[in-house]
Amino acid sequence: MEPHELLRFVHITCFAAWFGTVFASMFFLKTLEPGLTGTEAQVGDKPKLLQRYIKLETKVADVSFIGVVATGIILAQFYHGWTVWALVKSGLIILQVALTMGYIVKAIQPLTYPCTRPEYKKWYNLFTISFSMFGAVLGVTFFLL
């Protein structure tokens, strides 16, 4: 396998792992919803389980994100060049991280459990942001590059 092919493989694999962690988190949070929006007795240790999961998920997502960025920079620098579309894709990834982190700080971190279903829906808004941005990056990558 040539270096360019290997870099593209790692780049795509890291992007898929990053996307996969977000997708898995959505299903995990959907599973926990009845307990975290129920009564005090139903909550039990679910907030601790959620916190532990988020720590582990963040480790995988961070490594994947760093892999996407590092291989993307190497691919642009040595193989594809810094075209307008490479810069657009880079900008979309930066925007995704900014929107996601901003929303987490503003809406997700203040949540306490048990919470109401409307408050819990803030989690789903986070996934809407993430999946929309993943879709934009993939759209630019596959249809405009």
Write out the two tokens for 133. 């941005």
pLDDT score of 145 = 64
Q: Hey, what are 87's tokens?
A: 């810069």
pTM: 0.91
Q: How far apart are CA 22 and CA 109, in angstroms?
A: 17
16-27 pLDDT, tens digit each: 999 999 999 999
- pLDDT tens-digit series, residues 68-113: 999 999 999 999 999 998 999 999 999 999 999 999 999 999 999 9
Dihedral sign (CA 19, 20, 24, 25): negative
